């Protein structure tokens, strides 16, 4: 069957007010770039005519500005899930302009299939190749692509000519069977492949829009002193765990979160000669992973996206034959699968906004109210990992905020799932410790020295019980920040 080639504007006109639209990709990687901008333009035109035009936006994770930025600015969104990092979108959702549903990334595809979130009307997916028989080969990010392509009535393929078609073969597209028929995923080692190189859909529902837009990946900030110290602390902790035999000599697969800290930690692991070559089973494959594969420090990487800077992306394309049998991109329900995290023994490394002295972690909300990004995949891995590690600088905003607080203002990962906390000052090992010992460990090893006396004061307020939590004083740090501009002015006597 001959493919139907249309313009981005014609594709946008297939989307109707109130539709739910699923987009491919994970982070900016693999996201469509011209059709969402055309949908945003259409929304503005409809609004100018006095007509309503808003859509539900379903993605793998965060996206490029073409999706979240354009659609937010056009006021074209009624609902958004599961994760975002866009500044305009963050402001809009915190202003209540639309409903934002924050959930574990591994769960989105199945929640769509279960019918919990309504019907997906249109899928918009970026591809490097599409055939007349309906084979769609994604680009550098997968996310929920297999599920939205199967369930949508219309599949708009953005065929991106700037991505080499020889990327075909790097993906492993596998969709979970739903209960009660679900069987185990036959991945027993990081490099196992269980699915197809493409997504197959009925070609009758495919429309193709050609483009050659480059990736939307920015670079990483240079490693600063704090980030470098966090990285070194993690690397030294791994070396001591190897020596103690608590991490096997051949090491275990690493999951590392997104952002500068995660990138710097991997780089520190690569430059520590006592850490053996290891594998990565993660969601986002960042610049450091690609560098370390070329240097031989990482032997295999499985992920959901290649979230790399454009410079590294071009390097990757040039050296594709090297990477082809060392890297695989999977849908988010497989890359982030909790059962696989447990089976493979993944070491999970994620970044926190704040942690409390009892080991609870806030990954999402500033002051318990303002959404930062979302839980992303951190929960998929943390609870099910061999070893869960949270990274945080001891302070934020020039020391006015202590990232170690008496009680977190929003709890994403609780004390039962969090094993290790690392700041630039050291490593708090919470394994096998009750609440008071955990608190001492976190204050002494991770808190900034300026905040340690205050945190000890809080701990020693004489509250009885298993957890010495003073419900009247636990937010004194946040109150002081609000009223005086710094948590250092927390005064427990004034509560
Ligand atoms: O503010 O942007 O104004 O400078 O928060 O903090 O230190 O730059 O760290 O970019 O790695 O983000 C938790 C948000 C950390 C991220 C979070 C301010 C700080 C700065 C960012 P500025 P940093 P990062 C894999 C796993 C959840 C999802 C996840 C995240 C800004 O890692 O979204 O783990 N995690 N996914 O100044 C107020 C505090 C603060 C604070 C830091 N206590 N109070 N502001 N900041 N601590 C990825 C995926 O799932 C796809």
- Quote the ipTM score: 0.97
CA distance 125 to 33: 9
**Do 194 and 256 fall into the same domain?**
no
**Do 153 and 48 fall into the same domain?**
yes
Task: Evaluate if residue 222 carries a pLDDT over 90.
Answer: no
Task: Evaluate if residue 259 carries a pLDDT over 80.
Answer: no
CA distances from 114 to 107, 110, 435 (A): 10, 6, 39
CA distance 277 to 270: 8
User: Is residue 177 situated within a structural domain?
Assistant: yes
Nearest Cα neighbor of 275 from 253, 249, 311 is 249
Domain boundary among 164, 185, 211: 211
**Do 137 and 232 fall into the same domain?**
no
What pLDDT is recorded for position 28?
95
User: Is residue 220 situated within a structural domain?
Assistant: no
| Separation of CA 482 and ligand 1 centre (Å) | 20
Task: Read off the pLDDT of each residue in 137-155 and give the average, rounded to a whole number.
Answer: 98
Task: Evaluate if residue 297 carries a pLDDT over 80.
Answer: yes
Domain that holds residue 295: 225-494
What pLDDT is recorded for position 267?
87
CA distances from 317 to 26, 256, 310 (A): 19, 23, 10
Question: Is residue 221 very low, low, confident or very high in pLDDT (cuts 50, 70, 90)?
Answer: confident
| Separation of CA 363 and ligand 1 centre (Å) | 7
Task: Evaluate if residue 220 carries a pLDDT over 80.
Answer: no
Task: Evaluate if residue 219 carries a pLDDT over 70.
Answer: no
Nearest ligand 1 atom to the CA of 373 is 33
**Do 67 and 25 fall into the same domain?**
yes
Percent pLDDT > 70 in the chain is 99
Question: Is residue 381 very low, low, confident or very high in pLDDT (cuts 50, 70, 90)?
Answer: very high
Best mutation site among 351, 403, 405 for ligand 1 pocket (most ligand atoms within 8 Å of CB): 351
CA distance 400 to 25: 37
Task: Read off the pLDDT of each residue in 214-242 and give the average, rounded to a whole number.
Answer: 89
User: Is residue 346 situated within a structural domain?
Assistant: yes
Domain boundary among 211, 241, 261: 211
**Do 205 and 282 fall into the same domain?**
no
Residue 277 and residue 296 in contact, taking contact as beta carbons nearer than 8 Å: yes
User: Is residue 216 situated within a structural domain?
Assistant: no
User: Is residue 105 situated within a structural domain?
Assistant: yes
User: Is residue 204 situated within a structural domain?
Assistant: yes
Pick out the residues of the known binding site for CoA: 353, 373, 377, 397
What pLDDT is recorded for position 214?
86
Pick out the residues of the known binding site: 353, 373, 377, 397
**Do 360 and 277 fall into the same domain?**
yes
**Do 186 and 304 fall into the same domain?**
no
| Separation of CA 259 and ligand 1 centre (Å) | 8
Does ligand 1 have an atom closer than 6 angstroms to the CB of 371? Answer: no
User: Is residue 219 situated within a structural domain?
Assistant: no
Task: Evaluate if residue 126 carries a pLDDT over 80.
Answer: yes
| Separation of CA 283 and ligand 1 centre (Å) | 17
pLDDT in tens, 459-471: 999 899 999 999 9
Does ligand 1 have an atom closer than 6 angstroms to the CB of 89? Answer: no
DSSP reduced 3-state for 362: strand
Number of domains in the chain: 2
Task: Evaluate if residue 260 carries a pLDDT over 90.
Answer: no
Task: Evaluate if residue 217 carries a pLDDT over 90.
Answer: no
What pLDDT is recorded for position 406?
98
CA distance 338 to 333: 9
DSSP reduced 3-state for 50: coil
**Do 268 and 159 fall into the same domain?**
no
**Do 49 and 185 fall into the same domain?**
yes
**Do 72 and 188 fall into the same domain?**
yes
Task: Evaluate if residue 426 carries a pLDDT over 90.
Answer: yes
* Chain mean pLDDT for the chain: 96
**Do 360 and 470 fall into the same domain?**
yes
Domain boundary among 157, 186, 211: 211
- Answer yes or no: 441 catalytic: no
Does ligand 1 have an atom closer than 6 angstroms to the CB of 391? Answer: no
216, 283, 333, 424: which one is catalytic? 283
CATH number at residue 85: 3.40.1080.10
**Do 371 and 259 fall into the same domain?**
yes
Does ligand 1 have an atom closer than 6 angstroms to the CB of 442? Answer: no
User: Is residue 70 situated within a structural domain?
Assistant: yes
Nearest ligand 1 atom to the CA of 393 is 7
pTM of the model: 0.97
């Amino acid at each position: 069957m001959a493919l139907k080639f249309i313009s981005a504007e014609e594709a946008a006109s297939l989307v109707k007010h109130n539709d739910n639209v699923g987009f491919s990709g994970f982070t900016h990687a693999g996201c469509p770039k011209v059709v969402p901008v055309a949908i945003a333009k259409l929304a503005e035109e409809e609004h100018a005519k006095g007509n309503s035009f808003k859509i539900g936006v379903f993605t793998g994770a965060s996206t490029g500005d073409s999706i979240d930025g354009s659609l937010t600015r056009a006021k074209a969104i009624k609902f958004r899930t599961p994760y975002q990092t866009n500044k305009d979108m963050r402001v809009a959702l915190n202003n209540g302009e639309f409903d934002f549903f924050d959930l574990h990334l591994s769960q989105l595809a199945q929640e769509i299939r279960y019918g919990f979130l309504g019907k997906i009307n249109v899928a918009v997916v970026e591809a490097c190749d599409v055939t007349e028989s309906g084979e769609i080969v994604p680009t550098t990010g997968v996310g929920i692509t297999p599920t939205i392509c199967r369930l949508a009535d219309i599949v708009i393929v953005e065929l991106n000519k700037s991505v080499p078609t020889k990327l075909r073969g790097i993906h492993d597209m596998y969709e979970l069977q739903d209960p009660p028929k679900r069987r185990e995923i036959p991945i027993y080692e990081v490099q196992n492949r269980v699915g197809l190189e493409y997504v197959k859909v009925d070609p009758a529902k495919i429309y193709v829009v050609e483009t050659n837009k480059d990736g939307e990946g920015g670079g990483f900030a240079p490693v600063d002193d704090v980030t470098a110290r966090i990285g070194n602390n993690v690397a030294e902790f791994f070396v001591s765990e190897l020596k103690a035999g608590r991490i096997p000599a051949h090491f275990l697969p690493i999951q590392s979160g997104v952002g500068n800290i995660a990138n710097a930690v991997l780089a520190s692991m690569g430059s520590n000669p006592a850490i053996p070559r290891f594998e990565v089973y993660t969601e986002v494959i960042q610049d450091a992973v690609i560098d370390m594969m070329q240097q031989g420090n990482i032997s295999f990487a499985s992920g959901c996206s290649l979230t790399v800077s454009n410079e590294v992306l071009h390097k990757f394309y040039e050296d594709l034959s090297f990477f082809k049998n060392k890297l695989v991109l999977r849908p988010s329900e497989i890359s982030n699968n909790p059962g696989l995290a447990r089976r493979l023994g993944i070491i999970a490394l994620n970044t926190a906004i704040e942690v409390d002295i009892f080991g609870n972690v806030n990954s999402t909300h500033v002051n318990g109210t303002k959404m930062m990004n979302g839980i992303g995949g951190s929960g998929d891995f943390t609870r099910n990992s061999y070893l869960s590690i949270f990274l945080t600088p001891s302070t934020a905003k020039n020391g006015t905020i202590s990232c170690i607080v008496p009680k977190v203002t929003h709890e994403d990962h609780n004390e039962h799932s969090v094993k290790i906390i690392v700041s630039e000052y050291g490593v708090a090992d919470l394994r096998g410790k009750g609440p008071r010992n955990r608190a001492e460990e976190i204050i002494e090893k991770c808190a900034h020295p300026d905040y340690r006396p205050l945190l000890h004061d809080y701990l020693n307020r004489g509250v009885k019980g298993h957890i010495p939590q003073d419900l009247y004083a636990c937010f004194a740090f946040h109150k002081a920040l609000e009223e005086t501009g710094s948590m250092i002015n927390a005064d427990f006597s004034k509560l």
